[in-house]
Amino acid sequence: MQQFKNLKELFSYFKEEKTAWEYLEKQLWDNKPVCPHCGSKVAYRLAANYKQFHCGNKKGCNKKFTVTTGTIYENTKMPIATWLGAIWLFTNHKKGVSSCQLARDLCITQKSAWFMLHRIREMVKDANEITLDENVSVDETYVKGAAINRTKKQRRLIAEGKRKDDPAIVLGLVQKDGNAVMKVVPNAESDTLEPVINKHVENLETILVTDGHNSYPAIGAKYKQHVVINHALGEYVNEGFSTNNAEGAFSWLKRTIYGTYHYVTPYHLQRYCDMFSYRFATRKMKDPERFNIATMKGKSRLRYVDLIQSKGKLKDVTL
């Protein structure tokens, strides 16, 4: 496995496109081609094109494919080396990289960089698979504004989802010394939060730590212990437990959004939350390890039309 120390070394190693394709085959297939159409492991490389393989399935698949078929790289016009450079920058910038910055770094258009970054976010998305246990802090925050600057009535209306022009609500679940899950929710009512918490905290022996929000007691009653930190009374630690893990993660999430992207629409916010969950889970890894793990996760595809939910013109996107 290659250990690139920086972007310069990466581009030096992938100066030939064939080398980049071979690296991708190693990461996604372990050099054992698998037909994405029928799952057959019998495949033959075409002599005329080092990228293409032919399925050897005798049951009639008989299709051609490459290592990019069915992945985030499918139908791309970008060199694979450019993709790998984008993944390096994406994974190793603590607060992410904007499409404008990526466009300047890789000499591509901003629109192409924007689409590329969203496809990489889709690639590393693990939020639906993460489960937490032992000691989990649960809290909610508001993106695009601070609830503390609003009146009590305004905060109540936001929690009930009755003010559509207000900041989006993000529910955070953070395991002590572990992973984090960030989910955009329409409101902070118990019926909304409970399914999300139950999905990611399946172990009922878990200690759930929350603030004094009235949505949590009914949810916490199902678990081994529910510790309440009553912030309204100036309490921040209770029997050694606190919600600092969740609040620290929220601080990092907001610095990422406001400092790098400045503004994220509610429509795309969940994608940035999924990106943050991946970044949080790999925070203790070194740059080469983080990059190599990411390049093994490319077996998913996000089409531009699906991304924007529109049939707009795609001619400016050079992917």
Cα 112 to chain center, whole Å?
19
pLDDT at 155 (0 to 100) = 64
Which pair of tokens denotes residue 114? Answer: 């924007």
pLDDT at 260 over 80: yes
Token pair for residue 25? 């085959």
Q: Could you tell me which residues come within 8 angstroms of residue 222 by beta carbon, excluding any fewer than 6 positions away?
A: 198, 204
Mean pLDDT of the chain: 86
Averaged pLDDT for residues 190-206: 93
Strand bridging mode 207-211 / 225-229? parallel
pLDDT at 137 over 60: yes
Dig out the tokens for 165 from the structure.
Answer: 């022009």
Whether pLDDT at 117 is above 90: yes
**pLDDT at 312 > cutoff 70:** no
Q: Is the pLDDT confidence value at 10 over 90?
A: yes
- Whether residue 315 is predicted with pLDDT greater than 70 in this model: the reply is no
Residue 128 pLDDT level (bands cut at 50, 70, 90): low
Paired residues of 292 in beta bridges: none
pLDDT of residue 240: 84
Tell me: pLDDT of 171 over 90: yes
Out of 65-79, 135-149, 152-166, 285-299, which region has the weakest mean confidence (pLDDT)?
152-166
Q: What is the pTM of this model?
A: 0.84
Q: Give the residue among 77, 121, 41 at the shortest CA–CA distance from 316.
A: 77
Instruction: Catalogue all structural domains in the chain, each as residue range(s) with its CATH number.
Output: 127-251 (3.30.420)
For the cut 50, the answer to whether the pLDDT of residue 146 exceeds it is no
Over residues 268-281, the mean pLDDT reads 91
pLDDT of residue 23: 94
Q: Quickly state the pLDDT bin for 161 (edges 50, 70, 90).
A: low
Place of tokens 């921040």: 236
Pick 20 or 147 by higher pLDDT. 20
50-107 pLDDT tens trace: 999 999 887 768 899 999 999 999 989 999 999 999 999 999 998 899 999 999 999 9
pLDDT digits (tens, 9 = 90+) for 31-52: 999 998 888 888 989 988 899 9
Encoded amino acid at 77, one letter: K
Report the pLDDT value the prediction gives residue 147, as an integer from 0 to 100: 47
pLDDT for the residue numbered 162:
63
